[in-house]
Amino acid sequence: MTKRNQLVALGFVAITLLFYSCGGDGQKNEELVKPSKEELRASIKVMEDSLKKLQVNQIPVENLHQMELINRLKLYYELYSEDKYSPVCLDNIHMIYSGMGVPELSSAYADTLLDKYPTYENRAMILESQGSNYDVFITPRDSAMVRYYYSLLLKENPNLNKDKRKGIIDRLAHNNLTFDEYLSKKIKDMAIK
Q: Name the residue among 37, 30, 40 with its Cα closest to residue 9.
A: 40
* CA–CA distance, 67 with 143 (Å, rounded to integer): 30
How many domains, the chain? 1
Query: Position 22: which residue type?
Result: C
What lies within 8 Å, CB to CB, of 175 at 6+ separation is 143, 146, 147
Q: Is residue 87 part of a domain?
A: no
Q: Is residue 36 part of a domain?
A: no
Q: Is residue 118 part of a domain?
A: yes
Confidence of residue 63 (pLDDT cuts 50, 70, 90): confident
Residue 23, pLDDT > 50, answer no
Q: Is residue 131 part of a domain?
A: yes
- 155: domain range? 103-193
Residues 4-23: what's their mean pLDDT?
A: 46
Burial class for 31, CB neighbours closer than 10 Å (0-12, 13-18, 19+): exposed
- Give the pTM: 0.80
